[in-house]
Every structure is written in C-alpha cells, then in structure tokens.
Chains A and B, each alone.
Chain A
Amino acid sequence: MWTYAAQRVLYAIPIALGVSIVCFCLVYLAPGDPLQSLLPADATAEDIAAIRRLYGFDKALPLQYLDWLVRVISGDLGISLQTNRPVLEEVLRALSNTLSIAVGAVLLAFVLAFTLGTIAAYNRGKLIDRVATALSAVGVSIPNYWLAIVLVIVFAVNLRWLPATGMGGQGSDSFNWLDWDQARYAILPMVTMALLPLGVVMRSSRSAVAEVLGQDFVQMLRAKGLRPIAILTHAVRNALPQILAIMGLQLGYLIGGSILIETIFTWPGTGFLMSKAILTRDIPLLQGTILVLALAFVAINLVVDILQTVVDPRVKRA
C-alpha cells in the first residue's frame, strides 16, 4: 500500500506544476488590472506606472512566473496585494474555516444519502424508492443560494433559533464545534452545503447498490438462504469503493468553498476569499488559493484511493 501511495504522490507533482502554470496564466488572461483596485479611479498613467514598478508587475510574464515558482517551492506564496498579509496565512485560515463546515456537510450528506440510497436500491420501484429518488432530485436541483436565503428567513429571522450570518460572536478565532454558542453559527451553512452532495451521493448509492444486487453472486447468496441484511451487507461492501470515489470528489468541491453559500452566510472560507481575490485581482492571493486548493483536491483523492484499496483489495491489483 505504501508503494502505491508513494506512486500517487509522485503523480501529484506534475499535476501541481501544471496547475501552477494554468492558474498563473489564467489570472493574467482575465481582463482588468491588479493595481486598479489599489489605486483611486482617477489615478494618472504616471501613478499607475510607478506602482507597477514597485510591485514588479513591469517584468515579463515568464520572469514573474519563475520568481513566483521559486518562492512557492520554498513555501512562500507571497503577500496579498490588498491585505498586505502572507498569502499562506490567509489561505490556511480560510481553508480551516471551510473545512469546519465542509467535513460536517459531507458526513451529514454521506450518512443520509448512503442510508437512503441503499434502502431505495433494496426496495426498487416501491414507494420508499420513489421518495428517495425525489429527494435526490431535489438535492441536485434546488439552487443552494435560494435554500440559504430561505433557511435564513425561517430559522434566523422568523424563529430566531439560529444566527443569520458570521462565524460566531467573536469570529473564527474563537469558533468551537463543542460550544453550542459558537457551533450554532455553522448549522445553516453546513446544512445548505450538504444539499448538493446529498443528492449526488444518494443517486450514486442507489444505482451502485442496485447494480450489485443484480449480480449473480447475490442470487447465489439468496439461494443459500442468507438473511436480507446479510445480503445487503455484501452488496454495500461491493458498492462502497464507487461511492467513496464520488464522496472524495464532493469533498474536493466543497473545500473549494461555495462562493454563494459563503457570501450569503458571510462565512470566511475559501470561496469567500477567492471571490474577493477575483474581484480585486489580488493576483498573489488568487494564485496561492488556487494552488493550495488544487493540492488539497489531489490529496483528498489520494486518501480516497488509499481507502478504496483498504475497502476493496482488488483496486490495488488493478
């Protein structure tokens, strides 16, 4: 397993390099100027040129990329143009905030979706299957920003059970899932965030388990007189690698943060950070965020691959 993991880590290096080139170029291809958001709108051409020189944006693009890459390899992602703080510090803080709801959202979605999907697969064509299928359709169809607003109106404004926005009375520095006063701030964004993976994973679970249940060895198990729960256990174990892969992808998407959800709940995560970096053309912050998220995505998939080999040794042999 360790050789397999080492191979996957090595594969990640060219991916990271490719990602770094793509994200560096994409940021520059977009219209707009990183210096415009630093300067007042009536800044003169002379002022803009002076600032461009001060920040090193007057150098050729390949030179800027090489400068950046050398710094990145040494662990320095640069300084945010807007906040003047280290990019790595900014990204890690945002990533930690997003993870605090994304992990909860994925677990919530996984438990609910996998259970309902399995039940639906075992009861194909029955009422419970139809209800689960409808739920999954709702999950993938409802725009999460709409659900976010509805949840805020119902639970924050009307019922006043949960807060509408933010990450705790004193911000993320004092956020703690074990303290209800803080944790309640995360409930609405987490539930909203869970909606999409709930729908996707439920559909996948249903089809994966249904497919396994249709295979010959399940007929054999039935013929041998195994109880339904034992048959289902065999089926689930065979379907699990496929569902894990989908869960890994979903977690990867979620740690990229949802710009809409995090904006509506003013949740200071990666989506919120990235949207600000895009709007202000904060190039070092944008490049650093994309790179860290891409690497995190690769890392999550690596963990999922390893988990798959644990659950199903046939994956390793393949």
Chain B
Amino acid sequence: MVRLNGPMACKIKKIAVAAGLSLATLGAASAESVVTVAMTAADIPDWAGQPDQGFEGTRFVGYSLYEGLVSWDLSSSDKEVDIIPGLATAWNVDPENPRRWLFDLRTDAAFHDGCAWNADAAEWNISRLIDEAHPAFSPVQFARARSRTSAIEGVEKVDEDTIAITTKTVESLFPYNLVYVLMLSKCAVEAAGNDFAVYAEAPAGSGPYKFGSVVPHERLELVKNEDYWNQARIPKHDKLVLLPMPEATTRAAALLSGQVNFVEAPSPDMIPALEGAGMQIITNAYPHTWPYILNNLTAPFNDVRVRQAINYAVNRDDMVAMLGGIAAISYGPYTKSQANYGEAFEYPHDPAKATALLQEAGCYPCTITVAISPSGSGQMQPLPMNELVKAQLEQAGFVVNFEVIDWNTMITVYSSGAVAYPQYNAVNFSSAVMEPLTFVKNFMRKYQTPNGSNWGGYYNEQVEALLEETITSFDADHRNDLLRQAHKIVTEDGARLTVVSDLNPRALAPNLSGFVQAQSWFQDMTPIVVNE
C-alpha cells in the first residue's frame, strides 16, 4: 500500500475522507459527538493552569482550556506555523524603550466562569508567575513557566485594555515566549482560595473547550464552549475526552476495538495493520528533529573535521526506510519544511570521505561515548535508531559506546550541559526549533547550558554576530534572513549530527473528518467532525 506524506497528502486524505463521509453526515443523528483521544502521556496533563506532560499537555489541555496573549496559527497543514494574536489583538515595542512591550487586549473574550478578560486579569496572570509574594503564586506553575517568564522584569496595566510588559534585556523575539503563558480566570482561582488543588475542581480559562469532568490519572472530559469569542473555532463536536495511554500497542488496540477514535503516535510497525482496518493515518512535517548534540568543547568534536565526518558517515535514507517512511531526512536544527532551513549544507552519505576526515584529524579509529535514552518525549524509536547509527558510524571509523540512561536522567544531563558531563561526547536529545528564539538559544555562547540550551557549547564567531543581531532586530524579514545565514554556517560546521525529522503520525477512526494536521507540535482539535 502506498502511503502519502506531507502537506499535500494531508489535504488529499482530508478531502477523501470528507467526501466519503459527507452523505453519512447529512443523516447524522443528534446524538452527542465525542472525540476520544489516546495520548502517549502516562497521566492526564495538569488542567489547573500551566500544563505538564511536555508539549502533549499543552496541545490537548493547555490550548483547549486556555489561551495566551499570543497564539499559534494552526489552521493549515500547508504552511509553516507562526504566532498570531490570541488574547491580545496586537503588540508593539515602545518606541522610547525597546524593553517595554505594549499589548492591546481582546475586548470580546471572557473566561468560562463569566469573569472578565481585561488588563487587570492579564496583569494578575503574569504577576502570579513571576512574583513569589503574589497570593496566587504556585511553585509548580512557576517552575513550568519559568523558562518563558524569566525574561520578564515587570508588568503593568496601562488602561483597561492595554498592558505593558518590560523585559530584562532587549529581546525582539519576546512575544514568542507568551504563547506558552496561559491565562486563567482570576475569579475562579480566588474563589478556590488561591489553592490550585481546589481550583482544579472547577477550572476556567477562555479557550474553545470548557472543563467537563475528570477522573484523576484516567480521563479528562472537556466540553464545547459555545460562547467562544472565535466563532470559527467553536468545536464541531460536543465533547473531547482525553485518555492517557503510554503503551503504543494499547493505543492501537483501543482504536481497533472502538474505545477511542483518535490515536497519537502509532508505532511504525502497527501502521500497516491500522491502515488495513480502514483507519486514517495522517502525517505531516513539523519542527522535530532527531539529533546527536555534540560536545564542541572537548576532543574529538571540538575539531570541525570530526563533526563533518560524523555527518558524512550516516546514511539518512536507511534510517527513513527503517522507520517505514514516518520520518524525513534532516541535516540541521531547522527541518526542510521550514523557511529558515534556507541553503543548509546537506551531507551525502559518504563513508570514505568520513574516514579520510577522521584520519586527517588524527582520530582514527575515533572512539566516542553517546548518552541515549530508551524512551522519552520526542525521542522517536531511540533504541533501533541508535543501533543503526552506531553500525553506520563504525563502518566509517568511529567506535561508538552508548551509555543508556532513563529519560529523567537524560533531562538532567541536558539541563546541566556538557561541562558537567564531560564523559559524554554527545547526547541523543530530540530538538524542536519552533520559534527563532529556540535556534538562538541553541547556538549562542551566552546561552551555553546551564544558561540556556546550547548543550555542547557550540561557538562560531560569525554565528554569534548573526544571532546577536537577530535578537535585537525588530524587522522580522531581516531576522529570518540572519537566521538562514546562521543555519547554513551551523550545518556546514557540523554543529550537530541531525539524522531525521519526525512526520508525526496519528491514526484516526474512519468516521472522523475535518482534522487539519498543522506543521507543529500543537494541533487544533476544534474542526474535527464525528460522523455517524
């Protein structure tokens, strides 16, 4: 069976399903329509504010119940996702102070409990995440939002519909942070006595779904918000039910037995069976790469020849084939589907050249130790993928030692940086450059971990200058031009070994239509129609 991938495939599948089911839709009864999602998370993401469970929590709970001042445009599968107005209709930097941002707030939005959305609500929400003395301060929420709010120096109400946020330094990319800072009903939190365990019994955001009911650890039911300010995004189904199901086989079985109708990340070997049973398999490119992040600070990867050698040694086509086509070849932190991929340096599979480079660098055979995890958010199929990479690298003259550590330990290693873990020459840690700020933090020296996410201490003078200009430039086109130049240098430098990018497979029951898989970690569930 031929499976179509990419944006066009999404469109074709969407049209086919919609056409095939349109007649059935005409005769649909008025029974409650429910989208039941089997998530990969092992628990229900926290629904009482800033969610946990990584981006899956933000995807299904965060952006269903809540919104930020800024949102993602998830309306299309054909274009790259960027930020759009959310609970703020516009934002501008103060012409007299480049650290002061002015946000015009939406006047037609309200919280689910009827509480007003205005400057007081916005100021209260941001203050509670930055001020430990705030009555609604919560260490958990503070921790989850910290990397997005640490740039904020203060927030103030300008008038009823405008707030000003001041950053600690000039940051032209600051609004990208606010897409992750979700707004809660001040009335609901105060009614709960500022206790988030109590608030969790009746949470209120402003998103397209309202809280319905919950059985902790088992199921969360969200119901359609008929009064949502964005008429186009009022859900096309009555209820969204979220079930945690960490085991891929269980998710597939639940779909096949009719217990759920929407499954996240079916395993590649289950996809043919699901297709054979008539399920829709939907894939699309999105910013999610599978790299080895190299320790650029010490030998052997402080030598550009060794970094290039590892890039030449890997056969990316073989990896895509092994994954059954649910991945795409990738060469850098930006995926080919992203505009800022630009003219990235693309390494052909050339083991002979890799060997020659290793010999020239005086590292042949070249022994490296790589930290890998057997599972983890965004790690795809880490064990077979790493085995394949090892086999390919060893053909070119590397000797690869793996140190297998669990996901939590891997996060510790990543957050502490290569300086704290000199025993690792590389870490296999998935990467998501969804917004320019992430790219900047991955490759600038001042963001070397633990001060950011430049784990391996990559440094290139040209890249440093380009990125410095990027974070201080308020011209988006110019910024993107700078990022493309930096991306070209970073790939040519072999700063990382990026092998593939994920195509994010999902399996849907045949009677669902209308889902548009955006090129993002986040998705809009509201257009889904449940047909009879």
Interface residues of A (CB under 8 A from B): 31-33, 35-48, 50-51, 54-55, 81-85, 90, 93-94, 149, 152-153, 156-157, 160, 163-167, 170-173, 263-266, 268, 272-273, 275-276, 279-281
Question: Binary interface profile of B, 197-218, with partner A (CB < 8 Å = 1, else 0)?
Answer: 1001000000000000001111
- Among residues of B, the one whose C-beta sits closest to the C-beta of A85 is B197
The answer on a CB contact under 8 Å between A36 and B48 is no
- Among residues of A, the one whose C-beta sits closest to the C-beta of B377 is A41
CB-defined contacts of B450 to chain A, threshold 8 Å: 44-45, 48
Once A38-B143, A44-B450 are accepted as A-B contacts, the answer to whether A165 and B245 lie under 8 Å apart by CB is: yes
CB-defined contacts of A94 to chain B, threshold 8 Å: 217
For the complex, is B462 an interface residue (Cβ under 8 Å from A)? Answer: no
The answer on a CB contact under 8 Å between A37 and B408 is yes
Once A33-B408, A164-B259, A264-B247 are accepted as A-B contacts, the answer to whether A83 and B452 lie under 8 Å apart by CB is: no
For the complex, is B339 an interface residue (Cβ under 8 Å from A)? Answer: no
CB-defined contacts of A165 to chain B, threshold 8 Å: 243, 245, 250, 253-254, 259
A153 and B140 CA atoms in complex are apart in Å by 40
CB-defined contacts of B215 to chain A, threshold 8 Å: 170-173
Once A31-B409, A82-B52 are accepted as A-B contacts, the answer to whether A164 and B250 lie under 8 Å apart by CB is: yes
The answer on a CB contact under 8 Å between B408 and A54 is no
The answer on a CB contact under 8 Å between A264 and B249 is yes
The answer on a CB contact under 8 Å between A266 and B250 is yes
A32 and B376 CA atoms in complex are apart in Å by 14
A44 and B150 CA atoms in complex are apart in Å by 9
Once A39-B146, A51-B142, A84-B197 are accepted as A-B contacts, the answer to whether A163 and B415 lie under 8 Å apart by CB is: no
- Among residues of A, the one whose C-beta sits closest to the C-beta of B451 is A44
- Among residues of B, the one whose C-beta sits closest to the C-beta of A160 is B257
Question: Binary interface profile of B, 437-453, with partner A (CB < 8 Å = 1, else 0)?
Answer: 00001000000001111
The answer on a CB contact under 8 Å between B43 and A44 is no
CB-defined contacts of A170 to chain B, threshold 8 Å: 215, 219
Q: Which 3 A-B pairs have the closest CB atoms?
A: A171-B215, A45-B450, A32-B408
Once A31-B412, A45-B450 are accepted as A-B contacts, the answer to whether A40 and B250 lie under 8 Å apart by CB is: no
Interface residues of B (CB under 8 A from A): 42-43, 46, 48, 52, 132, 138-140, 142-144, 146-148, 150, 196-197, 200, 215-219, 243-247, 249-250, 253-254, 256-259, 405-409, 411-412, 414-415, 429, 441, 450-453
Number of A-B contacts (CB under 8 A): 161
The answer on a CB contact under 8 Å between A268 and B217 is yes
The answer on a CB contact under 8 Å between A166 and B408 is no
> Can you spell out 9 A-B residue pairs with CB atoms less than 8 angstroms apart?
A32-B406, A43-B146, A43-B147, A163-B259, A166-B243, A167-B218, A170-B219, A266-B243, A279-B406
The answer on a CB contact under 8 Å between B43 and A281 is no
- Among residues of A, the one whose C-beta sits closest to the C-beta of B454 is A42
A230 and B215 CA atoms in complex are apart in Å by 52
A147 and B46 CA atoms in complex are apart in Å by 33
The answer on a CB contact under 8 Å between A42 and B147 is yes
A275 and B244 CA atoms in complex are apart in Å by 14
- Among residues of B, the one whose C-beta sits closest to the C-beta of A31 is B409
A149 and B253 CA atoms in complex are apart in Å by 9
The answer on a CB contact under 8 Å between B146 and A263 is no
A149 and B249 CA atoms in complex are apart in Å by 8
Q: From residue A233, how far is it (CB to closest CB) to chain B in Å? A: 45
Contact of B147 among A40, A93, A171, A281 (CB under 8 A): A40
- Among residues of B, the one whose C-beta sits closest to the C-beta of A155 is B257
The answer on a CB contact under 8 Å between A42 and B453 is yes
A171 and B36 CA atoms in complex are apart in Å by 13
Once A166-B243, A266-B243 are accepted as A-B contacts, the answer to whether A39 and B253 lie under 8 Å apart by CB is: no
CB-defined contacts of A166 to chain B, threshold 8 Å: 218-219, 243, 254, 259
A272 and B48 CA atoms in complex are apart in Å by 22
CB-defined contacts of B52 to chain A, threshold 8 Å: 37-38, 82
A45 and B147 CA atoms in complex are apart in Å by 11
CB-defined contacts of A280 to chain B, threshold 8 Å: 408
The answer on a CB contact under 8 Å between B146 and A47 is yes
The answer on a CB contact under 8 Å between A163 and B250 is no
Q: Which of A35, A83, A94 has the most CB of B within 10 A?
A: A83
- Among residues of B, the one whose C-beta sits closest to the C-beta of A45 is B450
Excluding A35-B143, A39-B147, A84-B197, 8 further A-B contacts by CB distance (< 8 Å) are A32-B408, A38-B52, A40-B148, A44-B451, A93-B216, A152-B250, A165-B245, A279-B408
